[in-house]
Amino acid sequence: MTKTTFEGRNVVITGAGSGIGRAAALQAADRGARLLLTDVNAQGLEETVALVTAAHGAVVHHEALDISNEDAVAAFAQRGFDAAGTVDIVMNVAGISTWGRIQDLQPQHWRACVEVDLMGPIHVMSAFVPAMIEAGNGGHVVNVSSAAGLFGLPLHAPYSAAKFGLRGVSEVLRFDLERHGIGVTLVCPGAVDTPLVGTVDIVGVDRSEPAVAATIGKFQRHAVSPESAAASMIRGVEKGRYLVFTSADIRAGWYAQRYAPWIYNAAMRRLNRRATALLTKVQRKQTA
C-alpha cells in the first residue's frame, strides 16, 4: 500500500478541461500540488487554468492535445519535464464513450474508444512513468476506468473493451511498480454528471428522441457530481487504495459480482432487457 501526498508534488492530469479532471485539478492544487494539465478542448483547459490560478494554485505547464496521438503526448511530457523537472503523480482522466449494438457498430467506433480510452493512458504512462522510476522518488499512477470496466453493461461493448483493458494494465502495474515505491489507483466511477454524458455516441439512435432524453435525464439525476467523484479519487491516492468506487451502487455491484453472482447476472439481464426495449422503441419510431 503506497500512500501519496499532494503537497509539493508535480501532478499530471489529463482531461483537465472539464468534469472529473477539472475537479481533480482544483482539489489537487488546493492540497499544494503543482499541476501539469492537458485536455483536447483548448478553451476548457484555459478555463481550468484560470480557475486554479484564481484559487492561488500552481499550474507549471499546460497544453491542449489529443492523448491518442503518441507523438503529441511525448512532446507534452518533454515540455512538462523542462518546466517541472520531475513528475510525481500521473492521473489519467480523459476519455470518450461510444455505445451500441454489435450489429450497428462499425470498426471506427471500436477504434475510437480503444485509441482514446486505452492507448491514450498507455501513451501518457509510457511518457512519464519510466522517468518516475529513474528518479527513485516513488509516486502514484491513477487510471480512471469505469463501472463498464467491471460489469457487462448493455450496449457498452466498445467502451468496455477499452476500460476493461485499462483495468488489466492497472492490475499488472499495481505489482510491477510497487518495488519502485509507485502506487497505482484504479478508479471505477458509476454515474457522474460530466460533459461526457452529453457527448456519448449511441450508434443508431437519435439522442433527441424523448425516450432517450428522458433516460439520460434519469441518469443525470442519479449521478454524483464531478467534485464528489474527484474527491473519492484524491482520497484513494492519499490512502494508498488500489480500487476506488465513486458511488455506493458500484461498490455493491462489485461485491455482488464476486460473492453473489446470481444477483449480478439477474441485474445485468434486467438492464439488458430495458436497454433493448428502449432501443427497439426508438429505432422503430425513427424508421416509421
- What residues are labeled active site? 159
Please give the radius of gyration of the chain, using alpha carbons only, rounded to the nearest integer.
Answer: 19
Q: How many CB atoms lie within 10 A of CB 22?
A: 27
**Which amino acid, 20?**
I
Question: Residue 72 half-sphere exposure, CB side, CA atoms within 13 Å?
Answer: 15
Residue whose C-alpha cell reads 446470481 in the numeric block: 262
Grid coordinates standing for 44? 476548457
Q: Reduce the DSSP state of residue 56 to 3 states and report it.
A: coil
CB 62 within 8 Å of CB 45: yes
- 85 secondary structure, DSSP code: S
Rounded Cα distance between 132 and 154, Å, is: 38
DSSP 209-245: SHHHHHHHHHHHHHPBPHHHHHHHHHHHHHHT-SEEE
Rounded Cα distance between 265 and 19, Å, is: 31
Going across the sheet that includes 182-188, the strands are 58-64, 34-39, 10-14, 89-92, 139-144, 182-188, 243-245
Question: Residue 113 half-sphere exposure, CB side, CA atoms within 13 Å?
Answer: 30
- Exposed (0-12), middle (13-18) or buried (19+): which is 185, by Cβ within 10 Å? buried
